[in-house]
Amino acid sequence: MRIAIIGSHGLYASYGGWDQLVNNLVEKASSNVSYVVFNPKETPVDPYELPGNVKVINLPLSAAGYQGLIFDFISIFIAVFYCRNQLLLGIQGIPASVVLKILSFNRLKVAVNIGGVEWERPQFTRFARWYLKFCFELSKRFADKVVIDNEHYLQYFEETFRSSKQLQVIAYGGFIDESIRTSDDSLDLRFPFIGSEYFLSVSRSIEDNKLFEICEFFRERPSVTLTLISNFSNSDYGLSILREFSSVPNIYLIDGLYVKSELDFIRRNCKAYIHSHTLCGSAPSLIEMIVTRKPILSIDVPQNRFTLGGSGFFFAQFSELDTVIHLADLGHFRPNHNYSKSFEWESVVAKYEACFGDDRNEG
C-alpha cells in the first residue's frame, strides 16, 4: 500500500507537529506500507540517503505563505501518477483532490487532517477564513476519512458528517530525546537558565497562543523565570514580542530552536510547563510535555482538558497562576505515567495506516 503525504514541510523537516508526524509515519511504517512525500525548497533531501519505503519528490516551491497553496495543489496532481491514496495535512489543498476524485470515478482515496478549526484563527484574512471553511465543507462531502486530533471536536463536527465512520480521532504522538543527559559548557552559555528554576512555554508566534500575555505576566513578577521558545522571526507578531520583552531580565526568548535533543533537554529541566494555546487541537508541544511528565499549567479551554485527560492545573486568566508558581512542589500537576504512554508514535502510525484499509492499488 502506497500513500502520498501532502501539506507538510516534507520528510526530515523540523518546523512543527505535522513534520514530526511525517517523519514518524515513514520511520515506523508497517512492512507493507510505503510513502511518497513532497519536500519544498526549504527542505531538500538527497534521494540516495532515504529508507527504502519512501520516495521523496523535491519541488522548487516554498511550503509557506501563498506558495504553500500552489505547492499543495501541484503535489496533489503529481501524486496521482504514483498512487491512489492521499493523506492531506491541512485542508487547503482539498479542492484539487476533489477534482481528481471525480475524474477518477472515486478511485482516489483521500484522508485529510483538518488541523483544528483553522477558519477561526485571527491571523487569517476574511477571504482566507472563508476559503478554509469552504475547504472543510468539501472535506466533509468528498474525503473518505477526516482526521481530527482532539475529542473536543467530536461535539463540534460529529452531527454534520455523512457517516460516523468518516470521522477519525487521532492525536499526535510524543517522544523525548534523552541523548543530552547533563549540561555542558556550550549549553550553559547558550541557555543560562539551565540549573535554575524556570517555567517553560513552547508555541508558534500567533496571537491565539497568547505570547504577549504570558510575557506580560512574568514581566510583572521579576522573581520568577520564564523561558519562551517560538518562531518569533517568522511573523510580525513574533517580532513585536522580541522587541517588547527581549530586555526583560527574567524572560528568556529563544527564537526558532529546532534541534530536538536540545529542545527536549530544556523540557526535561524546567520546573513546570505553561500551555497557552487557545485554538489548537491536541497541540504537539503539549503532548511532548505529557510524555516528559513535567507539571503542566494549562489555559482552560476544552481541547486542552481533553488532551491532558484530567491532569494539570487549569487557569482562565494568567493572574490565576499566582496561586501556583511560587509553590515549592508542583508534582500533583504531573501527568500520569500510564496516560503518557497512550501517545506512543507506534499507535498513532497504525491509526493513520488504518485510514486507508487494505487498498494496495499503487497507481
| CA-atom Rg of the chain in angstroms | 21
CATH number of the domain bearing residue 243: 3.40.50.2000
User: Cα(160)–Cα(259) distance, rounded to whole angstroms?
Assistant: 41
| Residue-level pLDDT at 363 | 43
| Residue-level pLDDT at 138 | 94
pLDDT tens, position by position, 65-113: 889 999 999 999 999 999 999 999 999 999 999 999 999 988 999 999 9
Give the domain extent around 128.
2-173+344-354
Residues 124 and 212 occupy one common structural domain: no
| Residue-level pLDDT at 156 | 65
Residues 199 and 131 occupy one common structural domain: no
Could you please report the per-residue DSSP string of 57-115? EE-SS-SSHHHHHHHHHHHHHHHTTT-SEEEEESSTTHHHHHHHHHHTTT-SEEEEE--
Instruction: Single out the residue of 232, 226, 186 nearest to residue 206, CA to CA.
Output: 232
Residues 207 and 161 occupy one common structural domain: no
* 362 inside domain: no
Residues 235 and 87 occupy one common structural domain: no
| Residue-level pLDDT at 119 | 76
pLDDT tens, position by position, 286-343: 999 999 999 999 999 999 999 999 899 999 999 999 999 999 999 999 998 888 888 9
Residues 193 and 168 occupy one common structural domain: no
Residues 158 and 216 occupy one common structural domain: no
Look up the pTM and report it: 0.85
Residues 204 and 254 occupy one common structural domain: yes
List of residues 6+ apart from 85 with CB closer than 8 A: 1, 2, 3, 4, 109, 111, 356, 359, 361
User: Cα(316)–Cα(279) distance, rounded to whole angstroms?
Assistant: 14
Instruction: Check if the beta carbon of residue 272 is closer than 8 Å to that of residue 294.
Output: yes
* 178 inside domain: no
Residues 192 and 235 occupy one common structural domain: yes
Number of structural domains (the chain) is 2
* 210 inside domain: yes
* 159 inside domain: yes
Instruction: For residue 323, give the 3-state DSSP assignment.
Output: helix
Residues 202 and 324 occupy one common structural domain: yes
List the chain residues with pLDDT less than 70: 15, 156-160, 162-163, 358-363
User: Cα(358)–Cα(220) distance, rounded to whole angstroms?
Assistant: 57
Residue 361 Cα to chain centre, angstroms: 30
| Residue-level pLDDT at 49 | 82
Sheet holding 167-169, edge to edge: 54-58, 34-39, 2-6, 85-89, 109-113, 145-148, 167-169
* 274 inside domain: yes
User: Cα(180)–Cα(164) distance, rounded to whole angstroms?
Assistant: 44
* 361 inside domain: no
Instruction: Check if the beta carbon of residue 297 is closer than 8 Å to that of residue 275.
Output: yes
Residues 206 and 162 occupy one common structural domain: no
Residues 192 and 158 occupy one common structural domain: no
* 295 inside domain: yes
Sheet holding 251-255, edge to edge: 251-255, 226-230, 199-202, 272-275, 296-299, 313-315
* 180 inside domain: no
User: Cα(255)–Cα(230) distance, rounded to whole angstroms?
Assistant: 6
| Residue-level pLDDT at 166 | 87
Locate all alpha helices (DSSP H) within the chain, ordered by sequence.
Answer: 17-27, 65-79, 94-103, 126-142, 152-157, 185-190, 211-219, 236-245, 260-269, 284-292, 302-308, 337-340, 345-354
Residues 206 and 266 occupy one common structural domain: yes
Q: Please, what is the Cα angle at 154 between 151 and 158, to 5 degrees?
A: 160
Residue 347 Cα to chain centre, angstroms: 17
List of residues 6+ apart from 183 with CB closer than 8 A: 194, 195
| Residue-level pLDDT at 288 | 93
